[in-house]
Amino acid sequence: MPELPEVEVVRRGLERWVSGRTVGGVEVLHPRAVRRHIGGGSDFAAGLLGRRIGTARRRGKYLWLPLEDGGSAVLGHLGMSGQLLVQPEAAVDEKHLRIRIRFGDGLGTELRFVDQRTFGGLSVHDTTPDGLPDAIAHIARDPLDPAFDDAAFHRALRLRRTTIKRALLDQSLVSGVGNIYADEALWRAGLHYDRPTAGLTRARSVELLGHVRDVMNAALAVGGTSFDSLYVNVNGESGYFDRSLDAYGREDEPCRRCGTAMRRRPWMNRSSYFCPRCQRPPRPLPRVAS
Ligand SMILES: [Zn+2]
């Protein structure tokens, strides 16, 4: 499943290769890929025809192409295996090609949505005054957004009865932090994933946000990371990046800071990787005699 850095790599590819072009034709090859579009495949195609695509945008792991001259945007869900490929028109169709968008500009390339498992798709939505597709208006800003409010994030953490990793993955608090980057940032911060957020100091939450940004920026610098080999960026080049991670996937390997064997624990149908020495579990709450 792509995380924020991978989606940002795709966004940059779309900005480079698709933004500014006018849609000349749309072919929907599988109805599941447009199931989030209320009017169905033919309405999706008719709605895009003749529209000029604006600058590709992203919030968290959500990606969209604004349609110029009118209050709507094409929202892309990559799901587990979705790919947006810019291919020469003459290139052989991919086995799992679901949607083709042609441009009538003679540049010789087209945009293809390819998705083996078809959890992803494309859909057109009205946009809010901020330019967000209305379907994702409830999604919080991501930590790489210049307008992300660190102080408000800290206040929200203090008010919630939750634990730190749950908070990092809560899209209404902060978007775009997935399991891999949460484990990496928590390891860097020396925080156990089950620490209650209510006790975090301002300095600790600011430090944690800094680590989240650092791991995302490091991934972006080398083109994104993903453990899904199906993930391919907008030009069909693999976005897989083999930079060694410090926590995620390192069960029984020595902590790169203290040498203690790293541990893995089941966590919300996923796994959490941590160093039992650098990231001490929270003390259980004292029992109150009744
Ligand atoms: Zn350690």
Residue 91 contacts by C-beta under 8 Å, 6 or more apart in sequence?
A: none
Say how many Å lie between the CA of residue 253 and the centre of ligand 1: 11
Q: Do the Cβ atoms of 74 and 101 come closer than 8 Å?
A: no
Q: What is the mean pLDDT of residues 95-122?
A: 92
Say how many Å lie between the CA of residue 91 and the centre of ligand 1: 49
Say how many Å lie between the CA of residue 155 and the centre of ligand 1: 29
The DSSP 8-state label assigned to residue 236 in this structure reads S
**Strand order, beta sheet including 109-115:** 23-28, 97-103, 109-115, 82-88
**61 annotated active-site:** yes
Which pTM value belongs to this model? Answer: 0.83
Number of other residues whose CB lies within 10 A of the CB of residue 25: 14
Indicate if the pLDDT at residue 118 is higher than 70. yes
Q: Do the Cβ atoms of 22 and 53 come closer than 8 Å?
A: yes
Indicate if the pLDDT at residue 286 is higher than 80. no
Q: What is the mean pLDDT of residues 1-12?
A: 81
Tell me phi and psi for residue 62, to 5 degrees. Answer: -95, 140
Q: What is the mean pLDDT of residues 223-232?
A: 50
Say how many Å lie between the CA of residue 69 and the centre of ligand 1: 54
Number of other residues whose CB lies within 10 A of the CB of residue 113: 26
Say how many Å lie between the CA of residue 254 and the centre of ligand 1: 8
∠ Cα 240 241 244 (to 5°): 140
Say how many Å lie between the CA of residue 47 and the centre of ligand 1: 54
Q: What is the mean pLDDT of residues 10-34?
A: 93
Confidence label for 234 from pLDDT (cuts 50, 70 and 90): low
- Given 57, 58, 59, 61, the catalytic residue: 61
- The SS3 call for residue 27 is strand
**pLDDT at position 57:** 95
**3 annotated active-site:** yes
Ligand 1 being an ion, which residues bring their Cβ within 5 A of it? 255, 257-258, 260, 275, 277-278
Indicate if the pLDDT at residue 241 is higher than 60. no
